[in-house]
Structure 1
Amino acid sequence: MSYTSPNWKSSVLITIDTQNDFTLPNAPAEIKGTSDVLPKMQSVLEAYRTKGLPIIHVIRLYKEDGSNVDICRKELIEKGAKIAAPNTDGADLVSEIRSPSYASLDADKLLSGGFQSVGEQEWVMYKPRWGAFYNTDLEQFLRDRGIDTILFTGCNFPNCPRTSMYEASERDFRVAMAADCMSQVYEKGIQEMSNIGVHVCSLVDVLSAIE
């Protein structure tokens, strides 16, 4: 277990796709349950900010012409659905998880692979597919900062969080999952994550650990 146990002092908190269009009730692509976990996400974010630990918000951006959209949603966007479109309110992080110095997202910078600073030790980055490491510079960004542990929270466990956790495990990061700070979590998924060495925990566990 020593190879997989979190090193909280060298950890990063990652939120996945907690954007208005995926989170808010009756939003175009609402993921049920995401708005319900926002209070616990707020708590873990505030704890990381207080400790000066790094935070990365990973988001999706779907160009309205569909040119950067994954094939399972490409036709939908090409037919006019507007979901997390660049430079729209729908693409923004929900207000509950924004840092005090959060500003509008710089879609051009994000789409080109840049990390946008939105606070002290806090950034936003764009991922073009399910996993946060696919065709992004996330691994190097973390290695450059001596980060070896990733705590995942956010939107829709079966898709982007789960894929990102597998990718992180493949790269020998220590991986933790705050199960009550993530939507669409189910018991079999928790078992599957535990089976690959993911440290499945709760908000209370995280707050106690980083204290």
Structure 2
Amino acid sequence: MSDPHLTPNWSTSALLTIDVQRDFLSEAPYGVPGTTEVLPALARLTAAFRTARRPIVRLYRRDGQDADLVRRTLLAGGAAIVAPGSAGSAVAADLLPPGAPPLDPDLLLAGRPQPLGEHEVALFKPRWGAFYRTELDELLRGWGVDTVVVAGCNFPNCPRATLVEASERDYRVVLAEDAVSGLHDIGRAEVTGIGVGLRSVQDITASLTFQEVS
């Protein structure tokens, strides 16, 4: 990524983790294949951002009356997926900081960020993209962030929508390609075409460590 308009600024970066909730893990009844498998890489990535004291924002879905149209028939039929306050709506194990509180559905559904730890918050997103009807852009601007790293669950849907929305807002955008489920070669080519950098967790972690030391 030699283009000066696309090169990540690690000192002003933030990590966005998308939909890494228990109901979306591979083994769950409505889970997304490959999601459990990327958790170790995602845990390493989260730990690196935490060590570098860079912001981490966890974006969560809540399926129900405000769900996407494509999900409403399923939910009306009785499917219980990431219901507010349920065990399935909780973040996957090993991704939260020590002492993080349980998710507060009332606060999150009101559109407010919930602190989970130092430099770490959760946000509820009502649709595919993390910027739509959320305070994410305001939070990132307030922290002086100009580079976002995206990881999490099911690339074709929410991560890809978030990449596009971030690009539209002139963020420098990186996809942690080994910490996202559902990624495929066509998707790689598509997001590269809009300026998204594809990087491994090892590469991102090394870049953060170098920035921290220097």
TM-score band by shorter chain is over 0.9
Q: Which residue of 2 aligns with 1:40?
A: 41
SS at match of 1:96: coil
Question: What per-residue deviation string (whole Å, max 9, x for no partner) do you get for residues 110-167 of structure 1?
Answer: 0111100011100110100000011111111111110000000100000000000000
Q: What aligned pairs does 1:56-205 form with structure 2 within 5 A after superposition? A: 56-63=57-64, 67-205=65-203
Q: TM-score, normalised by structure 2?
A: 0.95
Counterpart-to-counterpart distance in 2, 1:109 and 1:32: 30
Q: Which residue of 1 aligns with 2:212?
A: none
SS at match of 2:94: helix
Out of 15, 19, 30, the position equivalent to 1:17 is 19
Q: Give, as a single letter, the amino acid of the residue that structure 2 aligns with 1:36.
A: E
Q: TM-score, normalised by structure 1?
A: 0.96
Aligned residues: 207
Counterpart-to-counterpart distance in 2, 1:172 and 1:23: 31
- Match status 1:209 vs 2:211: no
Structure 1 residue runs of 5 or longer lacking an equivalent are none
Counterpart-to-counterpart distance in 2, 1:71 and 1:199: 31
SS at match of 1:42: helix
Structure 2 residue runs of 5 or longer lacking an equivalent are 210-214
State percent identity of aligned pairs.
Answer: 42
Shift of 1:24: 4.7
Displaced runs of 4 or more, over 3 A: none
Shift of 1:79: 1.7
Shift of 1:12: 0.4
Counterpart-to-counterpart distance in 1, 2:26 and 2:37: 10
Q: CA RMSD in A?
A: 0.9
Q: Give, as a single letter, the amino acid of the residue that structure 1 aligns with 2:94.
A: E
